[in-house]
Amino acid sequence: MPILEVKNLAARYTNSGPEILKNLSFSVEADDFFAVIGPSGAGKSTLIRCINRLVEPTGGEVILYGTDVLKLSSTGLRRLRRNIGMIFQEFNLVDRMSVMDNVLSGRLGYVGSTRSLFKLFPRSDIDRALRILHRVGLLEFVDKRADALSGGQRQRVGIARALMQEPKLLLLDEPTSSLDPKISREVMALVKEIAGEFRVPVLCNIHDVQLATEFCNRILGLQDGMKMFDGTTETMDQQKLDEIYAMEVL
């Protein structure tokens, strides 16, 4: 049974604006590392952000673990977002805060902003943060400010912060676009390993097709907001890629 079902999803940014997503349907299984590929402007980032309603869809359904995300109240949505970890293109860290404090911010949905402000986190959260930082190779940087880190290290902080939520789904929005090829491969390998260890499915918007085919088991290909391909990585071939990227402007 799929853990995420997207049915006839539609989205536009203004009432009179063009449709960004057009009746898009697909599903994600519990063990999927699912890539979303397509040319610039295809709607990849919009799709990722519709899953947790950072962008409000204009139609369709988003069913996550049996709950229709689009029907939730603001309170229900806040609770649901605890279960959705998100890793961003530009890291979204607080530069002046330490690595540890950035990672602990992943518990904001549980401890509240006031306790977070005074760093009143339970010992269990601190211990978990230390374990995760060790897992992503950053334990020695625990007290460093985020702006003192390299791009690859900053993205590892973002991964650790997402894991602090104990997510049931990880959303990745262009996680490697700010990184060089070697570091991009290391980051994708780390996310895949951790997703397996923590048993959390991944939906990843990614611009690098080679990374998508190397690390992901399923691929969704978008073009102009429409689904052009939905299948296993093994069934993706050059002809299908050419069709997906036919409208790419060089």
pLDDT tens track for 40-77: 999 999 999 999 999 999 999 999 999 999 999 999 99
In whole angstroms, give the CA distance from residue 111 to residue 98: 19
The predicted pLDDT at position 140 comes to: 94
Q: Which of 127, 180, 176, 181 is nearest to 156 (CA)?
A: 176
First vs last C-alpha separation in the chain: 40
Model's pTM, two decimal places?
Answer: 0.90
Report the C-alpha gap between 112 and 227 in whole angstroms. Answer: 39
Neighbours of 247 (CB within 10 A): 13
Per-residue pLDDT band for 107 (boundaries 50, 70, 90) equals confident
- pLDDT of amino acid 122: 83
pLDDT at 118: 46
What pLDDT is recorded for position 113?
A: 54
Contact (Cβ atoms closer than 8 angstroms) between residue 72 and residue 57: no
pLDDT at 178: 82
Mean pLDDT of 246-250: 66
**How confident is the model at residue 15, as a pLDDT?**
80
pLDDT band at residue 111 using 50, 70 and 90 as cut-offs: low
Percentage of the chain lying above the pLDDT 70 cut: 94
pLDDT, residue 92, reads 84
- How many percent of the chain have pLDDT more than 90? 77
Answer whether residue 115 shows pLDDT above 60: no
- Whole-number mean pLDDT of the chain? 91
> At 196, is the secondary structure helix, strand, or coil?
helix
Instruction: Show the DSSP H helices in 63-180 as ranges.
Output: 74-82, 99-104, 108-111, 113-117, 123-135, 151-164
